[in-house]
Amino acid sequence: MAEIKVPELAESITEGTIAQWLKKPGDYVEKGESICELETDKVNVEIMAEESGVLQQLLANEGDTVAVGQAIAIIGEGAASAPPAPEKAPQLAEEPKPAVPVDRAEQPAPQPVAVAQAPGQRPIASPAARKMAREKGIDLTQVPTVDPLGRVRKQDVASFAAQPAAVPTAEAGKPVIREKMSRRRQTIAKRLLEVTQTTAMLTTFNEIDMSAVIDLRKRKKDKFFEEHDVRLGFMSFFVKAAVAALKKYPYVNAEIQGDEILLKKYYDIGVAVSTDEGLVVPVVRDCDRKNFAEIERDIAELAAKARSNKLSLADLQGGTFTITNGGVFGSLLSTPLLNGPQVGILGMHSIKLRPVAIDEERIENRPMMYVALSYDHRIIDGKEAVGFLKTVKDLIENPEDLLLES
């Protein structure tokens, strides 16, 4: 027999939550086959068997928090077997009674009865139901089900969540809803709080006339798609402009380690992606060596993986600078928070038509975007921050120069 343990995942990850078991006791498991899904602070990962055999015992339940190195199951030799049938309650012997004929039409049809688990008793529930309940902070023992065996299904949890779940507070008697934070949301909250407490964060703003980029994109997007099978968006322009600005202002591409500054001579740009479970920042590698099509393709693939919960830890680690686009949600202006240990983040916003003074006599409506650079003032001075943002502005307003920079 051998123990299946939670493997080393990443330096910053020490524990996770059993999201669902993919195998049950008695199942035969091949070496390398996934046996459970583990939810971590950053991504969900599947734990695989390191040898073939029969899954003898589960040492942790779905929803349990387990540490790296902890044994969660036992696998050994033997024949696979079906799960044991539920034990029947013993019945007292009764004297035989004469059969009484009953008209079939008079027999009442069986009606489903809502069943709720007793408090403290581990409920019978499908993995999908457990996952949904955990994400929504719902106690499965409180979820009624019409299943005759009392098994809670995903649709039962969804129905329960859709009901008004307000409960009065003890203090004021006002209705509130108490919702447990997901592991990922807890991590986001913790990291953002750490950033505000451990950095001297400051934000500078500018605005960009998007006319030239919009015109270039309109003229080239069809040919671009035909040649590269990927759409030309605005993000690749900003990634390339940011890389050029980082080369000009290297301290924005740095990191503080104790009393030293680590200047990074590579350009792995994190692109913030919003998912149902919170914001994640997958990283596009070596952006200085990639063309527009390669960057757009990487962004599209990472965004799709993020929204389908298929990002790996490697996709999220090692970024040197981050770009976030609140404009896709309609944000006009915001102050982005640093993605530690990085010392700079660029915020993009909505493109809006605004009157712009062309000269002393002319005013034109132009598609304008506010941009923001949040930075760690401990190593980046205001002059550098303003210069960085102005470099991005100049390159976006003159995309031909941006192509030359690339």
Which residues does the annotation mark as catalytic?
377, 381
Judging by DSSP bridges, how do beta strands 273-275 and 201-209 pair with one another? unpaired
DSSP assignment, residue 289?
G
* Helix locations, 10-65, DSSP H: none
Q: What is the DSSP string of 297-339?
A: HHHHHHHHHHHTT---HHHHS--SEEEEEGGGGT-S---PPP-
DSSP assignment, residue 159?
H
Cis peptide before 84 (omega within 30 of 0): no
Find out whether 134 and 154 touch, Cβ atoms under 8 Å: no
Cα–Cα distance for residue pair 4/121, rounded to 1 Å: 27
Cα–Cα distance for residue pair 227/333, rounded to 1 Å: 35
Six-digit token string for 359: 């000269």
The residue among 114, 154, 116, 163 whose CA lies nearest residue 135 is 154
Listed in order, strand segments (DSSP E) in 192-281 are 201-209, 254-257, 260-263, 269-271, 273-275, 278-280
SS3 403: helix
Cα–Cα distance for residue pair 334/370, rounded to 1 Å: 9
Find out whether 374 and 228 touch, Cβ atoms under 8 Å: no
Find out whether 338 and 345 touch, Cβ atoms under 8 Å: yes
Which H helix or E strand runs over 264? none
DSSP assignment, residue 288?
G
Backbone angles phi and psi of 300, in degrees to 5: -65, -45
The residue among 339, 369, 338 whose CA lies nearest residue 354 is 369
Cα–Cα distance for residue pair 326/347, rounded to 1 Å: 7
